[in-house]
Amino acid sequence: MTSPNFKTIEMGSIRAHVLTTNQFKSTTFSCFIQQPLQSEFVTKTALLPAILQRGTKQYQTTTQLQQALDHMYGAILFGDVFKRGERHIIQMGMEVANEQYLKESASLLEEGLHFFSQVLLNPITENEHFHLGYLKSEKKNLQQKIESFKDDKMRLASQRLLESMYKDQPFALFNHGRTSDLDQISAEGLYTYYQDVIRNRPIDFYCIGDIDVQEFTEIMGNHFSQLMDHERNLPQRTTEKAEVEKVREVVERYDVKQGKLNLGLRTYTTYQDDDYPALMLYNGILGGFAHSKLFMNVREKESLAYYCSSRIDSHQGFLGIQSGIEIENYSKALGIIKEQLFAMENGDISERELIQTKATLSNQLRESQDRAYDLMNAHYHGVLSNKERSISQLLTHIEEVTLEDVKRVAQKIKLDTIYFLRDKGGANHGEN
């Protein structure tokens, strides 16, 4: 399969990335807005996608908004926030039917982009602030989302590890914000913040579908011209340089019966680095897949974990190991996890492990080309890193990685923090 290539068009102070393809029966367009990940803004940023989906000056109720989407043959509006290193990304987007399959002569792309511009640029307001009733509703929804997250101990352990490892640093922040901020966020203050974001933050538009690039850019110029003449402030990228002087051990007690043992490591390698493909292989061999060392040795061979895996943050230089264990198995499970890290560092990796991981990782990347959102996300990694890597380039680079490359990356990686979420009673497993 040939990897698709985006065409990037500079449109004043914003960029549009267009992929013309007949692969999909729908057209997807989306915008990504960068914000620095900061404690004073994190909860406001998390609220924006939800409040923008509640109504516009033209469609003032959620019902009217949905009726407009239904009129466009069941178009879908979506929005969310996520973290990429120390940047907080707002994503808003739409999916509309490919007009090639419709009998209508009117341009559904034109209609969809006009609607999207109203959602993004003309939200419903009351006296120059957001609709108070909608804000109250979305604050309540966000509070419930954050509180339900705390009930998911697997996700909670991962977040508490970050908060311990990156204490008082932006990367420790939860992408959906903090409940403690909600009472202080007013309709007027949030609207002022929204205006600042729209006017001053980097915005990248994406469009994927069976479309004409010139037609798309002309429609963009008609409906989003007010975004194109603002000077935009690019969040500063930081490179992880913190040295590990001593491994930190953190134990927290909750009303649970099963322990969550998570480890945080510093990789000193990010998406823009030449060693990034080798880091992808390192993570895959260590804990990214069902054939990986952590799964095979901690879960299958020793039966010490309900799950055990690893993941990387491509922009922070962070690698996390997460496992669910019986509380009394803490010391043994930790010991075997460390053995796998030592094995990676020593190059104790079989040719079969390398080949199998290359194949699995390559298949995963190829499958991502079947989903428009994944294509956007993969390209946006390059935008954020100022390092373009097409999927075909990544596939080539992964195939070129050697055992020595993986070993070299492994020897840079340092264990920083051990986090154990455990029960409130019992012996002091994992505590000094």
The pLDDT tens digits of the residues spanning 336-388 come to 999 999 999 999 999 999 999 999 999 999 999 999 999 999 999 999 999 98
pLDDT, tens digit, 9 for 90 and up, residues 148-186: 998 999 999 999 999 999 999 999 999 999 999 999 999
Domain identity same for 129 and 257: no
pLDDT for residue 103: 65
- Unique residue bearing structure tokens 């003309």: 122
* Residue 243 maps to a domain: no
pLDDT for residue 2: 47
* Residue 220 maps to a domain: yes
Q: Are 56 and 118 in contact (CB under 8 A)?
A: yes
pTM of the full structure: 0.93
Domain identity same for 163 and 296: no
Q: Residue 184: what are its φ and ψ, rounded to 5°? A: -85, -5
* Residue 2 maps to a domain: no
Which amino acid, residue 431? E
SS3 72: coil
* Residue 239 maps to a domain: no
Full residue range of the structural domain in which residue 88 is found: 7-227
* Residue 236 maps to a domain: no
pLDDT for residue 234: 78
- Unique residue bearing structure tokens 């930190």: 248
φ/ψ bin of 128: left (φ > 0), alpha (ψ from -120 to 50), beta (otherwise)? left
222: domain CATH number? 3.30.830.10
Give the domain-ending residue among 179, 195, 227: 227
| Rounded Cα gap, residues 283 and 275, in angstroms | 12
Domain identity same for 108 and 146: yes
Domain identity same for 79 and 201: yes
Structure tokens at 61: 């109720």
pLDDT for residue 1: 40
pLDDT average per 10 residues of sequence, the chain (432 residues): 77 96 94 96 98 97 96 96 96 91 74 97 95 98 95 96 97 98 98 97 97 94 93 73 91 96 98 97 98 95 94 96 97 98 97 98 95 95 92 95 98 98 76 50
* Residue 162 maps to a domain: yes
Domain identity same for 98 and 168: yes
| Rounded Cα gap, residues 374 and 395, in angstroms | 15
Domain identity same for 314 and 404: yes
CA distances 316 to 166, 383, 393, Å, are 11, 15, 22
Structure tokens at 402: 């050697």
Domain identity same for 201 and 334: no
Domain identity same for 219 and 259: no
* Residue 233 maps to a domain: no
Domain identity same for 114 and 262: no
The total number of structural domains that make up the chain: 2
Domain identity same for 217 and 317: no
Domain identity same for 299 and 185: no
* Residue 430 maps to a domain: no
Domain identity same for 221 and 271: no
* Residues 388, 391, 393, 398, CA torsion sign: positive
Give the contacts of 291 (CB within 8 A, at least 6 positions apart): 353, 356, 357, 360
Give the domain-ending residue among 227, 262, 286: 227
| Rounded Cα gap, residues 259 and 251, in angstroms | 10
